[in-house]
Amino acid sequence: MRENPADLLPELCTLLGAVLGLLTGMFVPRQRQWAAVLVCALGVLAGLVSAAFAVPGPRVMTFDAFMLDPVTHVTRVTVLGSTLLVMALAFKPLRGHRRETEFHVLTVFTALGTVALGASSDLLVLVAAYLLASIPSYALAGFGKDAQGTEAALKYYLMGALFGLLMLTGVTLLYGLGRGTSYETLGRNLPDNTVVTVGAILLVAGLLFKAGGVPAHFWVPDVAEGASPVVAALVTTIPKIGAFAALFRLGAEVTPHSWALTLALVATATMTLGNLAAFGQDNVRRLLAYSTISQAGYLLVPVAMAGRTDLAEPALLYYIAAYALTNLGAFAVVVAVGRDRIGDYRGLAPRSPLLVLSLVICLLGLIGTPPTAVFVGKVLMLGAALDGHYTWLAVVAAVNTVASVFYYLRWIVPCFARADEGPVPSRPAAMVAYLATALTLVLGIGSGIALSLN
Amino acid sequence: MTVLSLVIFLPLAAALALFLLRLGDRAAVWTWVAASAADLALVAGLWIGYDDPGVGYEENARWIPSVRAGYHLGVDGLSLPLLALTALLFLCCAVYSLKQARRTQRARTFAALFLFLETVSLGLFAALDLLLFFVFFDLSIVAMYFVIAGWGHGDRLRSALRFFLYTFFGSLALLLGFIGLYLGSSPKTFDMVELARNPPLAGSPGLADLVLLAIAVGLAVKTPTVPFHTWLPPAHTDAPAAGSAILAGVLLKMGTYGFVRIAMPMLPDAWRRYAWVIVIVGVVSVVYGALVALAQRNLKRLVAYTSVNHMGYIVLAVGAAGLAGDGAARRLAVTGAVTQMVSHGLLTGALFLLCGVLYDRTSSYDMDEYGGVAKAAPVFAGMLAVASFGSLGLPGLSGFIAEFQIFTGVIGAGTTGAAVAGGISVLGVLITAALFLRVLQRVLLGTPGTLTAEVTDAGRAERAAIVPLLALAVVIGIAPRFLLDLVEPVPSAVIALVAR
């Protein structure tokens, strides 16, 4: 058994950053809490760098529960990179807030839980990671202490508690049937029968809550609208990365009975429902929330194809990284503009052409227009579905993509309308939007390099 | 970086320069003209320098090695005429926009969008990799959407949305088809040259049929053929003149080009099995497009429907190429199809710019409000007459060369069915002749209508934009050898591939 703490260097760096940041925050005055934020950010950055250096390493299991493989590497890099972007996005709005440090520390803890979620290959560690990723984000959802935020946090918490319970039931069932909690044991021992399917569905339900998939998606629009825009960006991006990695690992290593069909149906429901609900939205945060649900549907396609085709793993990993960047870019524009109704975006183009360009690239990116990163992800995703002999799933995904054009364009068009007065965007958030947008283009055009790494 | 990459990305570089140098609107349009002219000169250089019948100016760089998709470019007798057409048409649109520069809102963005679109169009015709082809295919939709939505008139947002939804649906069908080709090939690759050499899915006809269906639907939406054409009339009617000219002249060719470049050589068995369906779709497009055009009062809508008719001839020809029968006749049909692509680009591009001239003066396309325009605007009348006669297939103009070859090829293919299809399609020419003569009669001759007084003759920039297109149509009509010599190796190769 391998128990080398150096294998967990990225996680340890991040944890150390968060703890030291919290301690620093206790001792510095309110106006100088940036020092604590800096400590947190440095911890995440150190984690990101060490995660990048760990990428070429061999495929090993460490501490009997923590898998070091491409799925973990991508989860680490994507989660920690997204966390840095979210912290940059939050820096200005929270500057001088009396709980500034706490916000950033909670963000880092969410990220840490998410990484553990994606890396664990043991059901019990998975449950612990689920809690570590969830509890800080409940607090973040209600961080503003206003009526809307409190309602969002309560909904988020109740849904999380319910699905966490289902997940525990599923874990218990699978433990009983497979006589073990590690994926390796389960993959060997689980019988092929419907009870296993039921257990797997219960377990998947908990992960779907984190991923924002149907039927555990109800919290997504409420939290995206009720919490602050920065928190909305965080909860629709970071926890999903770990959840999809965990789902994929489950599918690839345990492959419970009728996994592909079940997940394909869930994917269909998720993408269709997300798209249909997005049509009528007038609030851009709700619109983006439903868009993230439909994106979760596309991401479930490679999860369903886990183990059926070699394309599934690169498809999922590439798509999740591309999605995280693009979604953060779109939310960064919302943070920069600071308004929520689609009508408020009228006249933005003449005032801040670059910001609108970023928005257009991000939204077209979410549709899957080349040469953005999501395009390559979508090609791989459709390829995985076709190669896994699920042609109908590829067709459903394609039709849903066409339908999604409609509501993304509904948001783009008013930006170019003429208006006498309009919002004045905040610069720091706009910089994050530019950065995320540029990265989606770089990742899309340089996809060959990114794909050859894993 | 080779000369071909330079040709493709020069317009994009110019578009970026417009913003980086913060040029004014007038300077921006002049830069657009200069960049397009330079690009046309480069393409002319490519044409002169291209000699062997194979792929010239090839460039192959790794892009996504894990799925064997590359940055693979090259030109041959099929792509070179279309590259030249694209470069010329964009230059003409730039020149045409000179006059409008002062009145066009956000002229700099308009110019940048067209330069971007030029890069995309040139890239598509030079791409030798399916994924690269798709990248350009999809981006053409996005750019044209913004052209229509931003600078159109009438119900432009709705038309633009419809255009986007339809063609995007087509592009996703195409993408599924491309992925099908990739998965069916061994070794797996997106490279067009390799796929044409070893057709994928040769052993599984059912899958090959599905893939052909996806690709054909994708290309048919773009072309467009009946029944996927309904996005075209509103998009054309509400687009700005230069946008319509590019949409008809260049973007529609992406569909027909795809048939000859991708569908026929890569799925030869399936193509032969379903050649009949394609022929029938072609015939229906020819007749239906012509009949609906005949019923139009709106001049621009009429021209849009004649595009459906003209694209129908191409579809008919490529369908007939898959029928069993005389090889020489089928080669002739494909030559005609390629010639028709060029000819339609020139003539319909000119017609849409002419529609723009009228709309610029009167803000109306209603033919009943005109009459006797020939007296007030003789140069305009002359250009409209030449373009109309060219479009209806009068000998001496490029349309005749193209359609004559198509009909001879289709009817001569040797089967009764093909002869019947060809015969019915000749009716299309008859109807187009009638409708264009009616256009000339209603707009140019007769008693002056309510708007005739407002029509002034074509200005310098407008003449400079439209005359080269018509002149080239005449040159091809009288001395087509320079074009046919370049094109002819393509049909032989394509027919040989389809007959495998």
pLDDT digits (tens, 9 = 90+) for A83-124: 999 999 999 998 888 889 999 999 999 999 999 999 999 999
Does a structural domain hold residue A285? yes
Give the range of the structural domain holding residue A304, as residue numbers without chain letter.
Answer: 258-454
Question: Within an 8 Å CB–CB cutoff, is residue A354 touching chain B?
Answer: no
| Strand pairing class (B56-64; A66-68) | unpaired
Residue B1's pLDDT is what?
64
Question: Within an 8 Å CB–CB cutoff, is residue A9 touching chain B?
Answer: no
Q: pTM of the prediction?
A: 0.94
DSSP H helices in A4-66: 9-27, 34-54
**Residue B428 tokens, joined:** 């299309």
Interface contact B67-A387, CB threshold 8 A: no
Q: Is the pLDDT score of B5 beyond 60?
A: yes
Q: Is the pLDDT score of B274 beyond 60?
A: yes
**B66 closest CB neighbour out of A314, A406, A413:** A314
* Torsion sign over Cα A72, A74, A78, A81: positive
What is the per-residue pLDDT across B100-133, written as a single tens digit (0 to 9) for each?
766 777 888 999 999 999 999 999 999 999 999 9
Host H or E run for residue B271:
helix B268-273
Give helix then strand counts, H and E, for chain A.
20, 2
Interface contact B179-A382, CB threshold 8 A: yes
Residue B447's pLDDT is what?
86
CA A338, chain centre distance (Å): 22
CA separation (Å) from B77 to B98, B358, B487, B492? Answer: 33, 36, 5, 11
What is the per-residue pLDDT across A353-393, written as a single tens digit (0 to 9) for each?
899 999 999 999 999 998 899 999 999 999 999 999 999 99
CA-closest candidate to residue B128, choices B180, B191, B174: B191
Does a structural domain hold residue B174? no
Number of domains in chain B: 1
Residue B123's pLDDT is what?
96
Express as a percent the part of chain B with pLDDT over 90.
Answer: 73
Residue A454's pLDDT is what?
55
Residue A421's pLDDT is what?
76
Question: Within an 8 Å CB–CB cutoff, is residue A452 touching chain B?
Answer: yes
Q: B497: pLDDT confidence band, cut at 50, 70 and 90?
A: confident
| Strand pairing class (A66-68; A60-62) | antiparallel
**A447 closest CB neighbour out of B64, B164, B172:** B64
Does a structural domain hold residue B481? yes
Question: Within an 8 Å CB–CB cutoff, is residue A232 touching chain B?
Answer: no
Q: B309: pLDDT confidence band, cut at 50, 70 and 90?
A: very high
Number of domains in chain A: 1
Averaged confidence pLDDT in chain A = 93
DSSP H helices in A214-305: 219-226, 229-235, 238-249, 259-279, 284-304
**B157 closest CB neighbour out of A380, A406, A413:** A413
Q: Is the pLDDT score of A318 beyond 60?
A: yes
**How far apart, in Å, do the first and last CA atoms of chain B sit?**
36
- Average confidence (pLDDT) over A224-244: 94
Cross-strand partners of B73: B59, B127
Does a structural domain hold residue B314? yes
- B contact test, residue of A308, A401, A405, A411 with most B CBs within 10 A: A405
Give the range of the structural domain holding residue B403, as residue numbers without chain letter.
Answer: 275-500
Residue B16's pLDDT is what?
94
Interface contact B139-A369, CB threshold 8 A: yes
Q: B288: pLDDT confidence band, cut at 50, 70 and 90?
A: very high
Does a structural domain hold residue B392? yes
Question: Within an 8 Å CB–CB cutoff, is residue A417 touching chain B?
Answer: no
Interface contact B168-A405, CB threshold 8 A: yes
- Rounded to the nearest 10 degrees, the angle between the axes of helix A284-304 and helix A373-387 is 40
From A171's Cα to the closest Cα of chain B, the distance in A is 37
- How far apart are the C-alpha atoms of A105 and A139, rounded to whole Å? 11
Q: Is the pLDDT score of A211 beyond 70?
A: yes
CA-closest candidate to residue B157, choices A413, A346, A403, A356: A413
Interface contact B183-A376, CB threshold 8 A: no
What is the per-residue pLDDT across B28-70, written as a single tens digit (0 to 9) for each?
999 999 999 999 999 999 999 988 778 888 899 888 888 888 8
Q: A418: pLDDT confidence band, cut at 50, 70 and 90?
A: confident
Interface contact A386-B175, CB threshold 8 A: no
Does a structural domain hold residue A377? yes
Does a structural domain hold residue B373? yes
Q: Is the pLDDT score of B325 beyond 80?
A: no
Residue B384's pLDDT is what?
95
- A contact test, residue of B172, B181, B182, B189 with most A CBs within 10 A: B172
- Residue B366: strand, helix, or coil: strand
Residue B101's pLDDT is what?
65
Residues 6+ apart with CB under 8 A from B430: none
Does a structural domain hold residue B479? yes
Host H or E run for residue A431:
helix A427-445
**Cis omega (within 30 of 0) on the bond before B187?**
yes
Q: Is the pLDDT score of B95 beyond 90?
A: yes
Q: B203: pLDDT confidence band, cut at 50, 70 and 90?
A: confident
**Residue B189 tokens, joined:** 């690759």
Does a structural domain hold residue B406? yes
Question: Within an 8 Å CB–CB cutoff, is residue B9 touching chain A?
Answer: no
What is the per-residue pLDDT across B131-159, written as a single tens digit (0 to 9) for each?
999 999 999 999 999 999 999 988 999 99
Interface contact A370-B135, CB threshold 8 A: yes
**Residue A424 tokens, joined:** 């004045």
Highest mean pLDDT among A187-191, A380-384, B96-100: A380-384
Q: Give the phi and the psi of residue A404 in degrees, each rounded to 5.
A: -70, -25
Question: Within an 8 Å CB–CB cutoff, is residue A402 touching chain B?
Answer: yes
Q: B205: pLDDT confidence band, cut at 50, 70 and 90?
A: confident
